[in-house]
Amino acid sequence: MRILVTGAAGFIGFHVARMALARGDSVTGFDNVNDYYDPRLKEARLAELAGLGGDWRFLRADLADRAAVAAAFAGSGYDRVVHLAAQAGVRYSLENPMAYVESNLTGFTTILEACRAAATPHLVFASTSSVYGGNTTMPFAESEGVDHPLQFYAATKRANELMAHAYAHLFRLPCTGLRFFTVYGPWGRPDMAPMIFAGAIAAGRPIKLFNEGRHSRDFTYVDDIAEGVIRAMDEVATPDPAFDPAHPDPATSSAPFRLYNIGNSEPVALGVFVAALEDALGRPAVRELLPLQPGDVPDTFADTSRLAAATGWRAQVGVEEGVARFVEWFRAWEAIPAPARG
């Protein structure tokens, strides 16, 4: 298939593009390669994709540039659009909310309009487990309401879900939203906990554990996430014949629209994740216990039964194996020698 992946220089976008290329798809990447974090990592991901030898091309442009987006779609005939470009980060949304407006709201509108004009057969877009916000019913299920976000980032991603539904309803644009749960693995973002913790442990610096380390997270290995994105991409959203407008299910519709959780479905205490990092790095962590931060959700736990029923997808990689793979890549990236094992 011919696929456009926005955010292809990003963490998840890179892995999705690589997996699509590996199965023989024609992939066009679109990314502005901004400096939210070190662009050298993004450039290295792009170099890796360029070296795979598949049908790959890359467009360096911004979603806010409507002319560039129009040019990316012109004559392309994409079979799928996978929209993973976004301003990410929970705490950064407290400091710079306008970045989220420009990327997550304006940028997403640009993609919706381009897909509508091109009659794209299926748009898959990234949402987040953060939309569950103040909900404490575990595991999180797509049938539950998500009307109490705890940060602006989550509010913009919930807005994306609503915007996509409007386009699915008005223009019959098939849309599938994926709520990602705490993704980690090789080529990860340096602003996320696994990279921060690994760097600190390797250097002997303290790691900051908010909520005094009492968080649990549905840590999901990035290859599992990419596989789920590919499977959801292949399963084109259709109207739900059982949809009841008198008792509406938020995750389906009379329009061609679906929402799915995509997570490991096995929440892990933060201390267990840190212990896996300690074991893989061969060094103990120095823990600094701090209070719960504004916008933080104490626990996450995904009910992924709907995605499994629709696509057959289930997470395969456990935390110990996933962390070991991540640390192997991290050592190579940071040029850190392996520990001596007695």
Question: pLDDT tens digit string along 283-332?
Answer: 999 999 888 777 777 789 999 999 999 999 999 999 999 999 999 999 99
Other residues' Cβ atoms within 10 Å of the Cβ of residue 30: 27
d(CA 185, CA 223): 8
Residue 122 inside a domain? The answer is yes
CATH code (residue 58): 3.40.50.720
Per residue, the 3-state secondary structure of the chain, as one string, reads CEEEEECCCCHHHHHHHHHHHHCCCEEEEEECCCCCCCHHHHHHHHHHHHCCCCCEEEEECCCCCHHHHHHHHCCCCCCEEEECCCCCCCCHHHHCHHHHHHHHHHHHHHHHHHHHHHCCCCEEEEEEHHHHCCCCCCCECCCCCCCCCCCHHHHHHHHHHHHHHHHHHHHCCCEEEEEECCEECCCCCCCCHHHHHHHHHHHCCEEEEHHHHCCEECCEEHHHHHHHHHHHHHCCCCCCCCCCCCCCCCCCCCCCEEEEEECCCCCEEHHHHHHHHHHHHCCCCEEEECCCCCCCCCECCECCHHHHHHHCCCCCCCHHHHHHHHHHHHHHHHCCCCCCCC
**Of 36, 78, 100, 153, which residue is the catalytic one?**
153
Residue 306 inside a domain? The answer is yes
Residue 339 inside a domain? The answer is no
d(CA 62, CA 60): 7
**Residue 90: pLDDT band by 50, 70, 90 thresholds?**
confident
* pTM of the model as a whole: 0.95
Number of domains in the chain: 1
The question of whether 167 is a catalytic residue gets the answer: no
Residue 275 inside a domain? The answer is no
Residue 80 inside a domain? The answer is yes
Residue 272 inside a domain? The answer is no
**Residue 341: pLDDT band by 50, 70, 90 thresholds?**
low
Range of the domain at 117: 2-183+221-263+302-315
In degrees and rounded to multiples of 5, residue 192 shows phi and psi of -100, 155
Burial of 24 (0-12, 13-18, 19+ CB in 10 A): exposed
Residue 52 inside a domain? The answer is yes
Residue 120 inside a domain? The answer is yes
Out of 76-90, 169-183, 201-215, the most confident range is 169-183
